[in-house]
Amino acid sequence: QVQLVESGGGSVQAGGSLRLSCVVSGYSRSSNCMGWFRQAPGKEPEGVAVIYTGGGSTYYADSVTGRFTISQDNAKNTVYLQMNSLKPEDTAMYHCAAFVCDGASDLEGARFGYWGQGTQVTVSS
């Protein structure tokens, strides 16, 4: 029932910016966290940013703190990931997920949640 569709990925040079969007349909109150995760070839999946929809608190991976911002637009049922000062190491497939959490820093529930198809971000130097 829950569907997530990401968009906004692409190729950009280092130092550039991208804004990813995730449109959610069938969102449930039980899915009280929305997050962005990424996976690069040969690397483990990484939680990038999470927003606790109940209270608006956020979590960011150390590697993106100060550069990325997660936000939501309830009227459009959309969550965003604004990515600034992009680095080549940000290159990955970015996935949006809706899941149950016990705060923005609680990412464990993501493995049981709903995931989008992903959007590719490629940063060149």
What's the pLDDT at 28?
Answer: 66
- Between 98 and 53, name the one with better pLDDT: 98
Residue 43: DSSP 8-state: S
Asked if the model's pLDDT at residue 98 lies above 90, the reply is yes
Structure tokens at 44: 């483990």
Mean pLDDT score, 4-14: 98
Asked if the model's pLDDT at residue 100 lies above 70, the reply is yes
Phi-psi region of 86 (alpha: psi -120 to 50; beta: other; left: phi over 0): beta
Asked if the model's pLDDT at residue 31 lies above 90, the reply is no
Asked if the model's pLDDT at residue 29 lies above 70, the reply is no
Query: Would you place residue 27 in the very low, low, confident or very high pLDDT band (cuts 50, 70, 90)?
Result: low
Burial class of residue 62 (count of CB atoms within 10 Å of its CB; 0-12, 13-18, 19+): exposed
C-alpha radius of gyration, the chain, whole number: 13
Please give the backbone phi and psi of residue 40, each rounded to the nearest 5 degrees, phi first. -100, 155
Query: Which pLDDT tens digit goes with each residue over 45-74?
Result: 999 999 998 778 999 999 999 999 999 998
Mean pLDDT score, 78-92: 97
